[in-house]
Amino acid sequence: MRVLAILSVCFLLLGCISQVASAAGHYVDKINRQGSSNSTSNSIGRNYRAVIIGISDYPGTQNDLSTPVKSALAIKSCLERGSSYYTVKLLTDGSATLSNVRNALDWLKSKADENDISFVYYCGHGSQVETKNRRQEGDSMDECLFLYDDIMRDDEFVERLLDIKGIVFVILDCCKSAGFQDDLEYRYDKDKGLWEETKVFMVTAFTENQLHYEIPVLGYGLLSFHIIGTMSQDPDNDGSITIDEIYMLAGENFKRAKEVFGISYEGEVNIYPRRGTNHYYDYMDTPIIKGFRNKSPWLSDLSISTRRGKCELDLRMIDLDKNKMKIFVYWGDGEGEWYGPYRSYEDVSISHYYDRYDDYKIGIVIRDSHGAISMWEIKEVSIDNKDITKNATVNPIKNVHSEEKKHHNSVKPRFHRRVEIFRHGSLLRLIKNRHIDIISDIRKWIDRNRW
């Protein structure tokens, strides 16, 4: 009996060992298959390359811009984070010649294969010239990039993009840029098999015949600011910033910024292929930046008070990653400024003096040290005529650190690439104010609205 019991225990142990070995073998096999899959993926490889172009300093001075080079450097910084390991060719100002841009795009063509990601960014002047291909262009005009020494027509630019294998992600922050998407769509419609060889995603803003905005008080072009802010955050904390995340987040915040700055243009941020098509959905989760996690900051508390022409903001910001933050306030009267840096949960007080009664729309956005931005907060304030003394002027702003920052009435923000726009209340409303000297204030109004 004792022998039978011992034998039964041995058989039971052998059965358990067999099950464990079988399970272990299954687990090891699973690991080996996963390892084999990863090994295959790594052996195939995915390389990341970028051509970044920003032109602020054009020959002469009348066509100079203030923000493109700064934006180009910020885009480069975004791409160099995480584990994407971009190889970047940066062309700014005098180096952004037609020859150098052609060489850079040819470099992408020679290096890229079907698994690679190529990133192309342009910020500078854009325009239209008479077309050489009337069958393709319905309006008889070619869109073009104004490079440092020459132009590159949309036909040539799109042709060079389509020569690059793999996925090509393009951002154009320039006037008339939406017209480049028309050329891209025309080429894909003409050659149905082209998408299998190269997949070009292009982001622009507004519509084909509209101009873009740069806002010096903000420090960036309107589109670039929101692209940079989106490429600096990982909204779902999965370590990847995808095509769809960049387009959707930048587009939503761009709409709010249009309201802040009073931009009446039709159109928003555009992408080709259009969201909703199979081509878009098949590749919308493609990571443009990998291995970077950062949450966007947000405004947790805000109170606004007005008295005698003074508007005071008391607010608190939160950044879960404990990054330091700056806050930009556009006061609605043509003036705006960055304040900070501040720490998360720090109480902040900022004030501004208005020199006339009116209804104003205040826009607030927060940016962390990585460049991630919050959604725009928009608040309306009414500065009553009883709150402003006769012949009031703009007083210095004091922030929480009691630093005096002077704002001059003569300084007007440039929104347009070429034209300065400054929004004022109506002359009739000014005349109706019986508490001020009508003649002197009409003269001030004319001086401020002089183009």
What gap in Å lies between CA 238 and CA 173, rounded to an integer?
A: 28
Same domain, 234 and 347: no
What residue spans of 207-330 are helical by DSSP H? 222-231, 243-260, 278-283
Sort 401 into a burial class: Cβ within 10 Å, 0-12 / 13-18 / 19+: exposed
Domain boundary residue among 290, 324, 347?
290
pLDDT of residue 427: 38
Q: In a 3-state reduction of DSSP, which class is residue 96?
A: coil
What gap in Å lies between CA 91 and CA 75, rounded to an integer?
A: 12
| Exposure class string for 306-338: b at 16+ Cβ within 10 A, else e | beebbbebebebbbeeebebbbbbbbbbbbbbe
Q: What is the mean pLDDT of residues 248-276?
A: 93
pLDDT of residue 221: 93
Per-residue model confidence as pLDDT tens digits over 131-140: 876 665 555 7
* C-alpha torsion sign, points 411, 417, 422, 423: negative
Same domain, 171 and 248: yes
The answer on pLDDT for 128 being more than 70 is yes
Please check whether residue 17 lies inside any domain of the structure: no
Please check whether residue 427 lies inside any domain of the structure: no
Q: Where are the beta strands (DSSP E) in 39-194?
A: 48-54, 87-92, 117-123, 126-130, 141-146, 151-153, 166-173
Same domain, 339 and 306: yes
Residue 100 · residue 91 · CB < 8 Å: yes
Sort 213 into a burial class: Cβ within 10 Å, 0-12 / 13-18 / 19+: buried
- Entry pTM: 0.76
Mean pLDDT of all residues in the chain? 80
| Run of H or E including 275 | none
Q: What is the mean pLDDT of residues 30-58?
A: 63
pLDDT band for position 211 (50/70/90)? confident
User: How many domains, the chain?
Assistant: 2
Per-residue model confidence as pLDDT tens digits over 59-82: 987 889 999 999 999 999 999 998
Q: What is the mean pLDDT of residues 83-93?
A: 95
Same domain, 274 and 254: yes
| Run of H or E including 80 | none
Residues 6+ apart with CB under 8 A from 292: 81, 82, 83, 234, 239, 241
Same domain, 242 and 97: yes
Q: In a 3-state reduction of DSSP, which class is residue 205?
A: strand
Q: What single DSSP character describes residue 376?
A: P
The answer on pLDDT for 213 being more than 80 is yes
Same domain, 109 and 156: yes
CATH code of the domain covering residue 363? 2.60.40.10
Q: What single DSSP character describes residue 195?
A: G
pLDDT of residue 264: 86
Range of the domain at 331: 298-411
CATH code of the domain covering residue 236? 3.40.50.1460
Give CA angle at 74 (215, 345), nearest 5°.
80
Same domain, 258 and 323: no
Say how many Å lie between the first and final Cα of the chain, rounded.
111
Q: What is the mean pLDDT of residues 19-39?
A: 36
Same domain, 120 and 175: yes
Same domain, 282 and 228: yes
Please check whether residue 335 lies inside any domain of the structure: yes
Domain boundary residue among 379, 395, 411?
411
The answer on pLDDT for 327 being more than 50 is yes
pLDDT band for position 445 (50/70/90)? low
CA distances from 354 to 49, 91, 309, 312, 342 (A): 48, 42, 5, 11, 25
Structure token digits, residue 285: 């989760």
What gap in Å lies between CA 355 and CA 271, rounded to an integer?
A: 42
Same domain, 97 and 120: yes
Per-residue model confidence as pLDDT tens digits over 361-386: 999 999 999 999 999 999 999 987 65
What gap in Å lies between CA 295 and CA 236, rounded to an integer?
A: 8
Please check whether residue 52 lies inside any domain of the structure: yes
Please check whether residue 430 lies inside any domain of the structure: no
| Run of H or E including 240 | strand 240-242
Q: What single DSSP character describes residue 212?
A: P
Please check whether residue 141 lies inside any domain of the structure: yes
Domain boundary residue among 257, 272, 290?
290
Q: Name the least confident of 13-17, 173-177, 335-339.
A: 13-17
pLDDT of residue 71: 96
Closest by CA to 75, choosing from 117, 116, 121, is: 121
Please check whether residue 258 lies inside any domain of the structure: yes
Same domain, 340 and 246: no
The answer on pLDDT for 392 being more than 60 is no
pLDDT band for position 439 (50/70/90)? low
| Exposure class string for 59-68: b at 16+ Cβ within 10 A, else e | eeeeeebebb
Please check whether residue 420 lies inside any domain of the structure: no
Q: What is the mean pLDDT of residues 149-161?
A: 96
Same domain, 285 and 324: no
